[in-house]
A and B are shown apart, each in its own frame.
Chain A
């Protein structure tokens, strides 16, 4: 191909997308010719991982600029795709539709929070941090406020937040790899980890950028294709997003008809761990305004504080491009997020509507237990029925499912060919891998650049710096995998904690660094240290039976942490001396897009 790589991007990824669709068709033909479900699953996961590894190898680099910020030449739209993949984790892909399925409106606060946060990113932070010209988020904090302590605290907050998040992602890659490749979870976790490291180790940010674009294409095809297909198949309409009003209303009617019967504790104790029944209305408002708003707010502020997202905007060619790129990121995220509630609707209706052939509520328990897909997913510990009232018929409150089953099992329930299930597995793998890559890289870069290079050995040569960065990448990856293998929290629980940790310690020090000239070093230290400590303290308190206050739960503890951070930062800044003239000038420069970057 002529011209440089950047100019050829649309062509390169166009060919890649065509190739991927060709591969799906090939698998579909294979299925018709008698390929087993297991073989298809293995092909999908192995083929996509091999492609990512190839991209990772082609992106290898020995330059610091390429390793840390992809050479600052990633075009707006492609950076948007990479950010979307970076952002949409295994949780978004595998667990989100499930959450909506079970909890309805109250859960959809996450949709609003995880998109609304980008408005804060675009207006408050991304363009200014791009102008700053830093390699990492702690690099900004350390240079703006000065001193090694501020830098170190930023690295600590970043590590706490990102590490909480990354264990969940490695856990998700392990879950999917263990299902698709049919191997035990403890080994699958490490297979997931090796695939993740293949993308990032040689090329750093450059490798991660170009694999994330490839992963976005896989995950969005894998999410949208089944949604459209199922909708058409069960008569939901050709374009589900605009046409499911009747289905949503029908679910409301069925909820009225069945009622939400509460199971006794003794009955619930027989349900396998991690499975849940439908206990909340689908489209009716079923949460108090504060419960909804506090969760949305925590996720929005968390979004604007998570370093692995912020650092994606360091890779654009200009400040202007950074702003536009945030818009593209959200557009690509919107494509998936607006589809999740549609998938939840289709999945729920096809299971609970007795007038549909796939509906199981109202059938006899013995019949349900004889269905093939029920047996498969029951064996995978994701579905369970039990005749609590002894009438022999399955009631709504007697049917239990795992959150992941909505995405993973719906294609099979709706009678789609197995090739779709294989595709979904590849999509989930792509989503979890891309996020894990971004997170591990964020932590390793912060430690190698801010702690090692800026604090320990400022004279280190590039080769040595990059060697340290790569070793850290592996070490952090293995630490994450080891903890993931212990399975402490569910996938989504720890994801939400990461947002709360990030906002507790970083939101106000970052925002005020640009928007409040008077903010100084002492204030930033107080803001980060007290913010993180109080957020963490609140979480520990609530986890150990504390009652909490103001309706702040273990999912929204960041609101408390961030409030403490804001107050302490403002108070301490005001009682200590104003930043010096050089720092003030630096802030002035950050606010003007034109001219040289600060660092």
Chain B
């Protein structure tokens, strides 16, 4: 089911599929960037950041390893799922509700 609707964007001719995929990829990069920060980025400076106080009075990095990063991942996935649904709807690629 390749959609043959041709539109013009930034001077490049793209099919509807390509546009949809470009947006999808953009969302992927944003999501993975946030993921990277909270799964790897902050732990690069674990010793330094742990000197700060975190939520509820725990040492900051200790809090991230026990609760913070984990909770952020949960929210991030739901946020991602909603954004992706919007992208799919925008291009008419969303599934019908009755299936």
Contact = CB atoms under 8 A, between A and B. Distances in A.
Interface in A67-113: 105, 108-109, 111-113
A285 B24 contact: no
Contact of B81 (A124, A248, A324, A337): A324
A342 B31 CA distance: 29
Given A105-B46, A585-B2, A334 B74 contact: yes
A245 B56 contact: yes
Contact of A591 (B21, B56, B76): B21
Interface string B13-44: 00001001100100010011001001110011
A243 B58 CA distance: 9
Which among A112, A245, A292, A589 has the highest number of chain B CB atoms within 10 Å?
A112
B92 A594 contact: yes
A327 interface: yes
Given A123-B31, A293-B44, A331 B17 contact: no
Interface stretch (A313-321, A403-411, A452-460, A558-566): A313-321
B interface majority secondary structure: helix
A324 B45 CA distance: 32
B94 A111 contact: no
Given A105-B65, A324-B78, A116 B35 contact: yes
B59 A116 contact: no
A283 interface: yes
B48 to A, nearest CB: 9
A285 B46 contact: yes
Contact of A338 (B67, B77, B84): B67
Interface in A109-132: 109, 111-113, 115-116, 118-120, 122-124, 127
Which among B21, B24, B46, B92 has the highest number of chain A CB atoms within 10 Å?
B46
Contact of A283 (B59, B88, B92, B93): B59
A531 to B, nearest CB: 21
B44 A593 contact: no
Which among B17, B44, B65, B67 has the highest number of chain A CB atoms within 10 Å?
B65
A296 B39 contact: yes
Contacts of B5: none
B59 A594 contact: no
B97 to A, nearest CB: 9
Contacts of B92: 594
Q: How large, as a class, is the contact surface on chain B?
A: 35 or more
Contacts, number: 152
A113 B40 CA distance: 10
Interface in B74-94: 74, 76-78, 80-81, 84-85, 88, 92-94
Contacts of B93: 592-594
A594 to B, nearest CB: 5
A192 B43 CA distance: 39
A115 B59 contact: no
B94 to A, nearest CB: 6
Nearest to A596: B1
Q: How large, as a class, is the contact surface on chain A?
A: 35 or more
B6 interface: no
Nearest to A245: B57
Contact of A111 (B1, B58, B65): B65
A215 B21 CA distance: 39
A580 interface: no
B77 A108 contact: no
A511 B43 CA distance: 25
A243 B1 CA distance: 55
Given A293-B43, A592-B93, A122 B70 contact: no
Contacts of B17: 588, 591-592
A326 interface: yes
A569 interface: no
Contacts of A111: 65-66, 70
A80 to B, nearest CB: 11
B80 A122 contact: yes
A289 interface: yes
B24 A591 contact: yes
A327 B46 contact: no
Given A105-B46, A285-B50, A317-B99, A300 B39 contact: yes
B66 to A, nearest CB: 4
B59 A119 contact: no
B10 interface: no
B55 to A, nearest CB: 8
B96 interface: yes
Contacts of A283: 50, 58-59, 62
B22 to A, nearest CB: 11
A174 to B, nearest CB: 30
A130 B99 CA distance: 14
A334 B70 contact: yes
Contacts of A591: 17, 20-21, 24
B57 A246 contact: yes
Contact of A115 (B44, B69, B81): B69
B9 interface: no
A595 B1 contact: yes
A119 B38 CA distance: 11
Interface of A: 105, 108-109, 111-113, 115-116, 118-120, 122-124, 127, 241-246, 248-249, 283-285, 287, 289, 292-293, 296-297, 300, 317-320, 323-324, 326-327, 330-331, 334, 337-338, 341-342, 585, 588-589, 591-595
Interface of B: 1-2, 17, 20-21, 24, 28, 31-32, 35, 38-40, 43-47, 50, 56-59, 61-62, 65-67, 69-71, 73-74, 76-78, 80-81, 84-85, 88, 92-96, 99
18 contacts: A105-B61, A112-B69, A112-B70, A116-B73, A119-B76, A127-B84, A242-B56, A283-B62, A289-B44, A289-B45, A297-B39, A318-B95, A323-B77, A324-B78, A341-B67, A342-B66, A592-B93, A594-B95
List the 10 closest A-B pairs by CB distance, nearest first. A245-B57, A116-B39, A341-B66, A327-B77, A108-B65, A323-B81, A283-B62, A285-B47, A285-B46, A327-B78
